[in-house]
Structure 1
Amino acid sequence: MKEHKMSRRNFLKVGAVASAAGLMTAAPVAANAAAPAASTAADEENCFGLFQKKPKYIFLFIGDGMGTAQIQSARFYQGTVTNNGAITEAELSFTQFPEVGSVTTYDSTSFCPDSASTATSIASGKKTESGVINMCPWTRDVPYETIAEKLHKQKGYKVGIVSTVNIDHATPAAFYAHQKTRKNYYQIGVELANSGFEYFAGGEFQKVNGDGTGPNNHEVAAQAGYNVVTTQAGAAALKAGAGKTLIIAENLADGKSMNYAMDAAPGEWQLTNYVRKGIELLDNSNGFFMMVESGKIDWACHANDAAASIHDVIEMHNAVQAAVEFYAQHPDDTLILVTADHETGGLGIGYKTTNYDTFLTNLAHQKMSYAKFDSTYVNNYVKNQTPFETAMQDVKANFGLTLPTDPDAASAGKLLLTDYEVENLRTAYERTLKVGSSSQSKMSQQDYELYGTYIPFSMAICHTINHKSGVDHTTYAHTGAMVNLYARGQGAGKFRGVYDNTEIFHKLAELTDVQ
């Protein structure tokens, strides 16, 4: 219908002309009669909504921990510097979306919330406590129904849930589970199987065997009619019409999650591959809803690993582009939203020793995440009590950080360490060999501020290359910073402005007309 393409401005103009024409033929109005109330923006929006098509293909991308600095650092990293020194930032697929909103993230108990409560707000439109998934706060005895469940039940939409971390982690779980604590991992896995959603893909269940007295989460899913696929070849072989499917990534890394984008082997499936497979399996004439989480942006920022965060933001940009390509084929029926549940790490662009400049290209020296460095190198250092100078050869090869006494110190392309930086690294290395990582309660304030609960040597390396690049973090936890939401497609205009994260649910519910 042509009305679908009528702009809001033209629609209001037509309405005004029609009203004026009506007044010309109407009976005279008494002089003392009350003038009609001026229409409000809400009235206009509601009126315009009568002519708006409902999106039937909805993508909701959540960059866990992805604040504006995480996005901006990726854009700067991808940018260019001309011969005369002029800089140009790069665009990401979603930073070019026509509508942008700013979203508050606090929960019912904290201005620095966790993923369980913030994902609950997005999924169900309700506030709850940190650590709680879709249950009312304090009493935790009333479950909340999510937008994914409503669309599945009321509209017959197929539903997909994708994450680069564990498929039962807080953010993906908030779209299908209802638990008093996010730590009820086995029970969350059972809820996954009982959801009936058509597509799940991501990392392994965290407590796949539960207490060992019953079927494991894979078996529970299979008993509920899911194809449980644990190889990349098996995932690639799936075709439309395959039925309900659960894919656990074949190549697992820290915490049984998928690899960081920068650590993935050539040909290894990443987030984009699972989004494309989801589109293939979910596509149908009735509609689908797909929630896609880039969860390791959060994990990288917890560990203050700026390079790993940047590469996962870039991979999310690639995944969003896959949705944009689908949108190009179905522009009147598709809505794409890209947002975050909260910000992690307190990332700032700019550092004390770099003053008014940044050197983000220095991060290109980093060849692997802190987690892969731990598993590939640091574990052996501890086992063999490797000398510091020997370990620093691996640091030079994988991070570019070079000792002033190194024979290659004068060569171009190396990040030469100062004496102060060397001593910081040496101190962290010695603590790594003697103590390793520890809990906050067992650490001095100084050690916790320096290393968090991570391997001291890896944290010192990340902090050093970050600082040389002109970035820094304020915390190993989350912050209360607002996050952005980028929208494109049918109904995208509803997501502009400043609002609370609970409004994401309500705006989606209104757009899709679910109760």
Structure 2
Amino acid sequence: MTRMKRILALTLSLLVSAALFAGGNAETVNTEAQTDQAETARAKYVFFFIGDGMALPQINAAEALLGTKDNQGTPKKLTFSKFPVQGLTTTYAANAFITDSAAAGTALATGHKTNSGVISMDPTGSTSYKTLAEMAKEAGMKVGIVSSVNLDHATPAVFYAHKKSRSDYYAINVQMAESNFDYFGGGMVRIDKTPAGEKSAHDIMKERGFVIASDREQFNAMKPEAEKQYYAYNTGFAANALDYTIDMDSSAITLAEFTQKGIELLDNDKGFFMMVEGGKIDWACHANDAAASIYDTIAFDQAIQKAVDFYNRHPNETLIVVTGDHETGGLSLGFAGTQYDSAFDEIAKQKKSFEWFDTYVLKPYKENKPNGSLADLMPKIEETFGLTDLTDYETAQLQEAFTRSMGGEVERPKSQDEYLLYGGYEPLSVTITHLLNQRAGIAWASYSHTGVPVATFALGASSGQFNGYYDNTDIFTKLSNAMFAGASVAMAR
């Protein structure tokens, strides 16, 4: 590098450091290696974080709540939003402008567009695409897959499975069990989908000698052993996924802990590739529960901090990339009823998710008091969501939703009007979160995904190439360039 280039690189490094310091928490990211190494170094240790359903609105909402809780008057940046390299990424599928997670994940994992619903194959389901994780394993690196949702869900599945349908859960979780990957952590695969007379994924894992942990004691006891494979899962009260962060108790294993355990188990001289998904950001946004989404975004950031801690010990060899697969919910930081005002302290009043309320309050109430009244439930609504001092409009909305919930009109809305109002969720629960969100100055446009670009952030070796505006397939190319130093890789299996 010429003397002038070194001076310019040093100046850039100082400017980046100053900007991070001004944003607070500068000590969490060491950018000293962001000169020569940022453009040329091979990434030996690669972290790929995917916030499912996470675009700029979800990130900004989390930062707004953190700033409100700290009484600083302005948003407080997340760890990854302080990364020095940032870009925007398009997300469309081969057959749709608005993608699903299978097609978006396939683009990220393989560099190929495919149809919604397809797992790392071409749109016809006749050709399999080799994934970054499979390439890493073939190159001698260790591989880990982590998610806060079921490990046979679309986003984690695209890194190890190849199926025409994301709903073919049994075949997908068998492919997970038969993969040669080193670590799986997060939610449990759906062994309840095992056909009669067939071995479950857990049976296959046991035969292959996996070290399996299903609770905190077993998880804490997991230690790296030569040639061992590891599977750690922890499930919540309502699904085979982790609980929403807002609902977790002390027995729950967090996404950050699964990430840290992955670092411990995967660290070796040949390097590793670890994909970590914040899957419940998406689930919360589908249900239009801003608080649940925000707290899971913060938990996702805490997992990223574990990677940053590792980066600070290995800055010349580590690459961290953070992106979303698509936006969910059409989240808007602004609402017609509050105009230019916002009040994120209203979000801070919510203590549990819509799912917790459905499971522990509304469902038993419907069973035990089929002829009950909204007045009976108001104390629990106030306690759980902080929704008090209702206006006449809010009372009318809650009353209508309560009547529909008590009538069981939830699973399959009978009309388009009902879907637009409640999206197939419990009418009362989604109305509560809508009203609370509106008080905060937050609105939603959908119960599904949207087509807006997502943000991509990068730190470390070869990170400079992630600047700019590019497609999700380009992330695969950039990652493979960083990992394999320009070596050609076969795209098909």
TM-score higher than 0.5 here? Answer: yes
Please give the alpha-carbon distance, in whole angstroms, between the structure 1 residues aligned to 2:133 and 2:162: 13
Q: Which whole-Å deviations, capped at 9, do the CAs of 1:58-117 have from their partners, x for residues lacking one? A: 00000000010000000011114899xx82110100010000010000010111110000
Q: CA deviation at 1:7?
A: 4.7
Aligned to 1:56, which of 35, 41, 44? Answer: 44
Matching of residue 160 in structure 1 with residue 144 in structure 2: yes
Q: Which whole-Å deviations, capped at 9, do the CAs of 1:284-322 have from their partners, x for residues lacking one? A: 111000000000000000000000000001111111111
How many positions carry a matched residue from both structures? 457
Q: In angstroms, what is the RMSD of aligned CA positions?
A: 2.1
- Contact 1:342-1:478 within 8 A present in 2 as well: yes
Identify the residue that residue 148 of structure 1 maps to in structure 2: 133
Matching of residue 75 in structure 1 with residue 63 in structure 2: yes
1:327-476 alignment runs, 5 A limit: 327-384=311-368, 385=370, 386-402=372-388, 416-440=389-413, 443-476=414-447
Q: CA deviation at 1:212?
A: 2.0
Q: CA deviation at 1:438?
A: 2.2
SS of match in other structure, 1:95: helix
Q: Percent identity of the aligned residues?
A: 42
Please give the alpha-carbon distance, in whole angstroms, between the structure 1 residues aligned to 2:70 and 2:186: 40
Aligned AA (1:336): I
Please give the alpha-carbon distance, in whole angstroms, between the structure 1 residues aligned to 2:126 and 2:70: 60
Please give the alpha-carbon distance, in whole angstroms, between the structure 1 residues aligned to 2:267 and 2:62: 31
Aligned AA (1:141): S
Matching of residue 247 in structure 1 with residue 235 in structure 2: no
Please give the alpha-carbon distance, in whole angstroms, between the structure 2 residues aligned to 1:272 and 1:363: 23
Identify the residue that residue 37 of structure 1 maps to in structure 2: none
1:3-42 alignment runs, 5 A limit: 7=6
Q: CA deviation at 1:266?
A: 2.5
The worse-fitting range, judged by mean Cα deviation, of 357-366 and 261-270 is: 261-270
Identify the residue that residue 264 of structure 2 maps to in structure 1: 280
Identify the residue that residue 129 of structure 1 maps to in structure 2: 115
Aligned AA (2:384): N
Please give the alpha-carbon distance, in whole angstroms, between the structure 1 residues aligned to 2:44 and 2:364: 52
Identify the residue that residue 77 of structure 2 maps to in structure 1: 91
Judging changes above 3 Å, is the alpha-carbon distance between structure 1 residues 134 and 266 closer, same or farther for their aligned structure 2 residues?
same
SS of match in other structure, 1:352: coil
Matching of residue 479 in structure 1 with residue 467 in structure 2: no
Please give the alpha-carbon distance, in whole angstroms, between the structure 1 residues aligned to 2:6 and 2:277: 33
Please give the alpha-carbon distance, in whole angstroms, between the structure 2 residues aligned to 1:64 and 1:123: 14
Aligned AA (1:124): T
SS of match in other structure, 1:487: strand
Identify the residue that residue 88 of structure 2 maps to in structure 1: 102
| TM-score (normalised: structure 1) | 0.86
Please give the alpha-carbon distance, in whole angstroms, between the structure 2 residues aligned to 1:10 and 1:88: 31
Identify the residue that residue 26 of structure 1 maps to in structure 2: none
Judging changes above 3 Å, is the alpha-carbon distance between structure 1 residues 358 and 140 closer, same or farther for their aligned structure 2 residues?
same
Please give the alpha-carbon distance, in whole angstroms, between the structure 1 residues aligned to 2:236 and 2:296: 16
Q: CA deviation at 1:9?
A: 5.9
Judging changes above 3 Å, is the alpha-carbon distance between structure 1 residues 180 and 147 closer, same or farther for their aligned structure 2 residues?
same
Please give the alpha-carbon distance, in whole angstroms, between the structure 2 residues aligned to 1:96 and 1:450: 37
Can you give the 5+ residue segments of structure 2 that lack an aligned partner in the other structure?
11-35
Aligned to 2:98, which of 104, 112, 119? Answer: 112
Can you give the 5+ residue segments of structure 1 that lack an aligned partner in the other structure?
12-47, 403-415
Q: Which whole-Å deviations, capped at 9, do the CAs of 1:452-481 have from their partners, x for residues lacking one? A: 111111011010101011001100000001
Q: CA deviation at 1:332?
A: 0.3
Matching of residue 172 in structure 1 with residue 156 in structure 2: yes
Aligned to 2:464, which of 469, 493, 501? Answer: 493
Identify the residue that residue 319 of structure 1 maps to in structure 2: 303
| TM-score (normalised: structure 2) | 0.89
Please give the alpha-carbon distance, in whole angstroms, between the structure 1 residues aligned to 2:295 and 2:81: 16
SS of match in other structure, 2:146: strand
SS of match in other structure, 1:118: helix
SS of match in other structure, 1:508: helix
Please give the alpha-carbon distance, in whole angstroms, between the structure 1 residues aligned to 2:68 and 2:288: 24
- Contact 1:307-1:366 within 8 A present in 2 as well: yes
Matching of residue 181 in structure 1 with residue 165 in structure 2: yes
Aligned AA (2:404): R
SS of match in other structure, 1:235: helix
Aligned AA (1:390): D
Aligned AA (1:475): S
Aligned AA (1:178): H
- Contact 2:173-2:190 within 8 A present in 1 as well: no
SS of match in other structure, 1:214: coil
Please give the alpha-carbon distance, in whole angstroms, between the structure 2 residues aligned to 1:51 and 1:81: 38
1:495-510 alignment runs, 5 A limit: 495-510=466-481
- Contact 2:69-2:345 within 8 A present in 1 as well: no
1:203-218 alignment runs, 5 A limit: 203-218=187-202
Please give the alpha-carbon distance, in whole angstroms, between the structure 2 residues aligned to 1:185 and 1:507: 30
Q: Which whole-Å deviations, capped at 9, do the CAs of 1:339-385 have from their partners, x for residues lacking one? A: 10000000000101111010111011110000011001011121022
SS of match in other structure, 1:348: coil
SS of match in other structure, 2:148: strand
Please give the alpha-carbon distance, in whole angstroms, between the structure 1 residues aligned to 2:128 and 2:6: 40
Please give the alpha-carbon distance, in whole angstroms, between the structure 1 residues aligned to 2:412 and 2:8: 58
- Contact 2:327-2:454 within 8 A present in 1 as well: yes
Please give the alpha-carbon distance, in whole angstroms, between the structure 2 residues aligned to 1:335 and 1:354: 41
The worse-fitting range, judged by mean Cα deviation, of 357-366 and 121-130 is: 357-366
- Contact 2:53-2:285 within 8 A present in 1 as well: yes
- Contact 1:81-1:88 within 8 A present in 2 as well: no
Please give the alpha-carbon distance, in whole angstroms, between the structure 1 residues aligned to 2:415 and 2:99: 25
Please give the alpha-carbon distance, in whole angstroms, between the structure 2 residues aligned to 1:459 and 1:257: 21
- Contact 1:208-1:218 within 8 A present in 2 as well: no
The worse-fitting range, judged by mean Cα deviation, of 228-237 and 125-134 is: 228-237
Aligned AA (2:214): T
Please give the alpha-carbon distance, in whole angstroms, between the structure 2 residues aligned to 1:452 and 1:114: 17
SS of match in other structure, 1:291: strand
Q: Which whole-Å deviations, capped at 9, do the CAs of 1:161-200 have from their partners, x for residues lacking one? A: 0000001000000100000000010111111122110000
